[in-house]
Amino acid sequence: MPDQILFYLLGGLAVVASVLVIGQRNPIHSVLLLIASFAGLSGLYVLLQAPFVAVIQIIIYAGAIMVLFLFVVMLLNVGREDTDVDEQSPVFVHRVSMRVGALLAGLLVVELVWALASAGTLGGVFGPMSQAPPAVTSVRTIGHALFTDYAFAFEVTSILILVAMVGAVVLARREAK
Amino acid sequence: MLFSMNAIVPLACVTAAALAAMVAEAFRTPGERMPIAPLGLIGLVAAGIATVLLWGHGYVSFNVVAGDDFGLFVTGVLVVIGLLTIAFSPATIEREQLPAGEYYALTLFAIAGMILMAQATDLLVIFLALEVLSLSVYVLTGIRRDSRAASEASFKYFLLGAFSSAFFLYGIALTYALTGSTHLDRVGQLIAGHTFGSGAMETFAVGLLAVGFAFKVSAVPFHMWAPDAYEGAPPVVTGFMATGVKAAAFAAFVRVFMSAFGPLSAIWVPVLWGLAVATMILGTVVGVMQTNVKRLLAYSSIAHAGYLLVGMVSANAVGRAAVLFYLLAYGVTNVGAFGVLALLESKDRPNDELRDLAGLWNVRPGLAALMTVFLLSLGGFPPLAGFIGKWFIFTAAIQSGYYGLAIIGVLTSVVSVFFYLRIVVMMYMTEPEPGRAPLSAPIVPRLAGAALGLATIVVFYLGILPTQLIDLATQSVARIF
């Protein structure tokens, strides 16, 4: 029972935050609300016994990618979303984009209904879905694989990141003169 | 399989040299001259010695880096290309006032990535190696920051390269979905033991991987980036890109397609056949129309990728050995040609238009003669390296019954001779245009002179006494495939 309450709380947080994201005039508020939505999703992953995905969700999406978004928004210095363009564009364009949007939304609803209705019987690419043992996705297993089978790849990644850093410095630094 | 660290020794030597170059730059006071290039040379020579010592032992490190003879042969080729590139670099760095430490560090990291790509036996590691070398080369392309052409070239290369990486990665993902592994041996076993036929999933996996590789070796129609990137980069870097990247990508291409995806050759041979034909023809025909020497050599390198693809399509032992031999012959020749171009560059003008070379014979007979040797070798004249390479490739094609490919290859080689000879004629028989300032006699630094001499000796040696290296190449493919 507490699981269900938590599910509805977190799911509700994700849905409400997502809806608010598109309702904002200020892009920075949108980005911050998106982070809230990701936090909700991350909580759902924990409920699904996938703690690793949950942590990754926070670190990569809420951490790295959202910071990138914020930077871009701030660098572009977009104070408020400019809606003038939409209002000035010809009615025809407006209508076409509305219709395409409505069509896509309709498709999404149909797909969701179909997927939910057949959730029990649906099979994956590799035969019917089975209850995967939770151990597979645990941080422990992934860490073990990362530092044994993939130890070399892990080390090469550090070189890759170093190269990216050197490259960024070379291309972006200001001339000393 | 013996667990040992030995197989990564060449890679470790080059990486250590790259790190040393970075640290040296960090401790350099502004204006101080520091011998960073020799650091790179030492690292590369150490890697070369390690390669020779490892030859024939077949060590495997971490289960993903193979020190087999195939990988070591390509490593040797890459070490030679790296040595020549670093020997040509100081003049360019001095003239363009490039950041020396970063330049050498990135070059050495790129070589490390290439070596890893040639030796890796796991798709994941191949991808990481590909990214290490690509990122370094993107930056090297745009390292002349005050040049708009260089920035444009770098940006184009980066964007298209990122696309191709995505293709490659998706191919790896599908391979994993198909076989549950990214290790080439395992993938090969599963594919061989399974009658997959030619279902959609394996076709997509093979196709996406082929697109990724075809982009890196600049095969038509994935060559769009090459002429711009080659023209915008400094000539030394262009020579490095046109040879090192191609050698590493072809090594991995051959390894992945001929070992792991060998049983699926029914899917990929026709595709590569088409790529080879398109690449040879377009590279040659468009090359004829160029008036910029760097662009011309860019299209020539596209055509050469086509010849290498012919060796792969032949898919026999001779074809694989021919690819290895060709990589060496083409690599040394092309780095040499770009090395000459790099020496001709002056501060106020790049001297890379065809007419800039007019009358080079009068100003610098030595450079003109060396350039002629390299160009004739690229055109496939006997007794130079390029001739033996092409002969070897076309023999492989004929042995496998691909007469059409061999004929197209020979015809395009004949046409390509036209544009190589055009440069030669320009250097020897044409007077500089009246309105244009004559070519100033460039100063050839001792190191660059030695490198040019070495390249020339190798080109003649491979052309006159190729037997030894052909044997080595044949041996090195015999043991692993």
Chain A residues with CB under 8 Å of B30 CB are 176
Residues A55 and A93 in one domain: yes
| Number of compact structural domains in chain A | 2
**Nearest chain B Cα distance for residue A164, angstroms:** 7
What was the pLDDT predicted at A125?
42
| Number of compact structural domains in chain B | 1
Domain of A101, CATH number, reads 1.20.120.1200
Residues A70 and A138 in one domain: no
Residues A4 and A66 in one domain: yes
Residues A96 and A32 in one domain: yes
CA atoms of B152 and B158, how far apart (whole Å): 10
pLDDT tens, residue by residue, B410-446: 999 999 999 899 999 988 888 877 766 666 667 788 8
**Nearest chain A Cα distance for residue B201, angstroms:** 11
Q: Which domain holds residue A147?
A: 134-177
- Asked if the structure places residue A76 within a domain, the reply is yes
What was the pLDDT predicted at A89?
58
Sign of CA dihedral B374, B452, B445, B47: positive
- Asked if the structure places residue A126 within a domain, the reply is no
Residues A93 and A25 in one domain: yes
Q: Residue B455 corresponds to which amino acid? A: A
CB B284 within 8 A of CB B296: no
| DSSP classification of residue A171 | H
CA atoms of B352 and B346, how far apart (whole Å): 10
What was the pLDDT predicted at A108?
92
Residues A73 and A146 in one domain: no
Give the best-scoring range by mean pLDDT among A89-93, A149-153, B147-151, B170-174: B170-174
**Which residues of B lie closer than 8 Å to A, measured between beta carbons?**
15, 22, 30, 61-65, 99, 102, 105-106, 109, 112-113, 116, 122, 124-125, 128-129, 131-132, 135-136, 138-139, 142-143, 145, 154, 177
Neighbouring residues of B281: CB distance < 8 A, sequence distance ≥ 6: B306, B408, B412
**For the ranges B23-37, B162-176, B302-316, B448-462, which has the lowest average pLDDT?**
B23-37
> Which H, E and C letters describe A85-148, residue by residue?
HHHHCCHHHHHHHHHHHHHHHHHHHHHHHHHHHCCCCCEECCEECCCCCHHHHCHHHHHHHHHC
Residues A55 and A1 in one domain: yes
Q: Averaged over B69-83, what is the pLDDT?
A: 95
What was the pLDDT predicted at B172?
95
Residue B163: pLDDT band (50, 70, 90) is very high
Residues A156 and A95 in one domain: no
Residue B1: pLDDT band (50, 70, 90) is very low
pTM of structure:
0.87
Residues A97 and A153 in one domain: no
**Which residues of A lie closer than 8 Å to B, measured between beta carbons?**
125, 149-153, 156-157, 159-160, 162-164, 166-167, 169-171, 175-176
Chain A residues with CB under 8 Å of B124 CB are 150, 153
**For the ranges A93-107, B219-233, B314-328, B399-413, which has the lowest average pLDDT?**
A93-107
Below-50 pLDDT ranges, chain A: 123-130, 134
What residue of B is the nearest CA neighbor of A161? Answer: B132
- Asked if the structure places residue A145 within a domain, the reply is yes
Residues A75 and A19 in one domain: yes
- Asked if the structure places residue A150 within a domain, the reply is yes
Residues A67 and A19 in one domain: yes
**Nearest chain A Cα distance for residue B177, angstroms:** 9
Q: Averaged over B17-44, what is the pLDDT?
A: 88
Give the best-scoring range by mean pLDDT among A118-132, B30-44, B229-243: B229-243
- Asked if the structure places residue A120 within a domain, the reply is no
Chain B residues with CB under 8 Å of A153 CB are 64, 122, 124-125, 128
pLDDT tens, residue by residue, B77-120: 999 999 999 999 998 888 888 888 899 999 999 999 999 999 99
What was the pLDDT predicted at A84?
52
Judged by CB atoms closer than 8 Å, whether chains meet at B124 and A153 is answered as yes
What was the pLDDT predicted at B3?
57
Judged by CB atoms closer than 8 Å, whether chains meet at A167 and B129 is answered as no
B29 pLDDT more than 90: no
Residues A94 and A163 in one domain: no
Judged by CB atoms closer than 8 Å, whether chains meet at A167 and B138 is answered as yes
CA atoms of A33 and A27, how far apart (whole Å): 10
Chain B residues with CB under 8 Å of A151 CB are 62
Q: Averaged over B255-268, what is the pLDDT?
A: 87
What was the pLDDT predicted at B416?
93
What was the pLDDT predicted at A129?
46
- Asked if the structure places residue A115 within a domain, the reply is no
Q: Which domain holds residue B324?
A: 2-478
What was the pLDDT predicted at A98?
84
pLDDT tens, residue by residue, A70-117: 888 888 776 555 555 555 556 666 778 888 989 999 999 998 888 788
- Asked if the structure places residue A101 within a domain, the reply is yes
